[in-house]
Amino acid sequence: MTDPLFAPVELTPPDIAPYRRGNTGIDHVTSLSATEPGPHLVLNALVHGNELCGAIALDALLRMGLRPTRGRLTFVFANTAAYATFDRQNPYASRYLDEDFNRLWSSEQLDGRRDSVELRRARVLRPVYESADLLLDLHSMTADTAPLTLCGQTTRGRDLALGLGYPAWVVADGGHAGGKRLIDYGSFAEPEGSRTAILVECGQHWRTETATVALESCLRLLLGLEMVEVPATGPRLRPRTDPQRVVEVTDAITASSERFRFTAPFLGMEVIGRAGTVIGWDDDRAIVTPHDDCVLIMPARRVKSGQTAVRLGRIVG
Ligand SMILES: [Zn+2]
């Protein structure tokens, strides 16, 4: 198996300078409104500065000249400061500059007194996200895992992911102890309400296929919402192949030593048949699956003490 930390960078980071001025008064935010009423959909790229797929998808949609036939469509390139430092010789380094942009999404953080490059950008983008009815947040992964949608814990998030019919894996989860993600921000995550946010992990960071998944996810959502008509010359949706499966996260395994290791080079979305199977060691403590047909969700490649090593889930539908 190729270690994904050394996987070749197949994708080319697009030049997003043409989108800097945008049309909203906020750098790298472009918003297009139709006269017909409809939802406000935000397509969001570069929450992590080294995750190229979303930037490529948004660049493709903007260059197509796509306009909404109803509602409002907004394109956001989020952590552009980190993206500007992208170096294909050291492609992991540009995930963020000061801190993870995707752990800042609570009013305590946003209204707090702390300062960082990412907090400044989050505060600028906050009203854009707060005005969204729907948010599609485009990400990619270190490991060569199959694409998956993180739909949070609301029924409407799950329904939206299933309504798209793609990607095949849908993971219902509650986020991270280290801070709230954008899809968990405010009323996106409240059990009642209509505002809905999902995150698509489109595949391995550097693969050509990952950008295709990102564009396809955007198009399926836009077409599903009947917000666009894709020109005949535009990209075509590929036929769906796998049926969707929903996984509910049951456990998060946090490393308590610097000597955490898995028993095999898991990529994620493996289904371990028998409860009690040892999947890793945390120093000399065995990590075992708590139930039959346990799904390993996004195992970390390098685990430090106090960090989430892997999350475990159960297939529910
Ligand atoms: Zn990401």
Give me the mean pLDDT over the 249-259 stretch.
94
**How far away, in angstroms, is 123 Cα from ligand 1 center?**
19
Question: Do 146 and 168 meet the contact criterion of CB atoms below 8 Å apart?
Answer: yes
List where CATH 3.40.630.10 sits in the chain.
4-236
Phi, psi of 276, deg, nearest 5: 90, 5
How remote is the CA of residue 24 from the centroid of ligand 1, in Å? 25
Centre of ligand 1 from the C-alpha of residue 45, in Å: 9
> Both tokens of residue 72?
């409002």
The CATH number of domain 248-315, selected from 1.10.3720.10, 3.20.20.70, 2.40.50.630, 3.50.50.60: 2.40.50.630
Residue (of 91, 124, 128, 122) closest to 105 by Cα position: 122
Report the pLDDT averaged over residues 296-302.
Answer: 90
Q: What average pLDDT does the structure give for the chain?
A: 94
* Cα 242 to ligand 1 centre (Å): 24
CA-CA-CA-CA torsion sign (154, 155, 158, 164) = negative
Q: What is the pLDDT of residue 232?
A: 65
User: Taking 80 as the threshold, does the pLDDT of residue 273 lie above it?
Assistant: yes
Cα(125)–Cα(122) distance, rounded to whole angstroms? 5
DSSP character at residue 248 = E
pLDDT single digits (tens) 198-252: 999 999 999 999 999 999 999 999 999 999 987 766 777 888 778 999 999 999 9
Domain with CATH 2.40.50.630 in the chain: 248-315
- Reference 222, options 57, 79, 84, 30; nearest CA is 57
Which tokens belong to 266?
């898991």
In CATH, the architecture of 4-236 is 3-Layer(aba) Sandwich (3.40)
User: Rounded to the nearest whole angstrom, what is the distance from the C-alpha of residue 264 to the centroid of ligand 1?
Assistant: 24
- 228 C-alpha to center of ligand 1: Å? 27
**For residue 177, what pLDDT is reported?**
72
Q: What is the pLDDT of residues 27-67, one digit of tens each?
A: 999 999 999 999 999 999 999 999 999 999 999 999 999 99
